[in-house]
Amino acid sequence: MSDADRAMLEYAEKLTVEPWNMADRDVRILREHGFSDSAILDICQITAYYAYVNRIADGLGVELEEFWGQEEPTKKISSE
């Protein structure tokens, strides 16, 4: 995985898990890895959209389709 991909995924993870801790530094890191403002906006909007949709589904008690329960859980991306 490239350093840019790792930075993008760490940004998305932080925005999903602890959005109250997002800061200018998080955007700066993406810029340092070559992401344009447009790309950063895309990353943010897509991450936020999935969080929104999942909260709606959770709030309504929507059950996952059977095939989702068959996958192995994945490890956390963050190196912390």
pTM of the model: 0.76
In tens, the pLDDT along 24-75 reads 999 999 999 999 999 999 999 999 999 999 999 989 998 878 776 666 666 6
Estimate the crossing angle of helix 24-32 against helix 3-17, to 10 degrees: 160
Residue 25: give the domain boundaries. 3-58
Nearest by Cα to 44 from 57, 21, 26? 26
> Is residue 14, in this structure, part of any structural domain at all?
yes
> Is residue 41, in this structure, part of any structural domain at all?
yes
> Is residue 17, in this structure, part of any structural domain at all?
yes
Total domains in the fold of the chain: 1
Residue 26 corresponds to which tokens in the numbers above? 């998080």
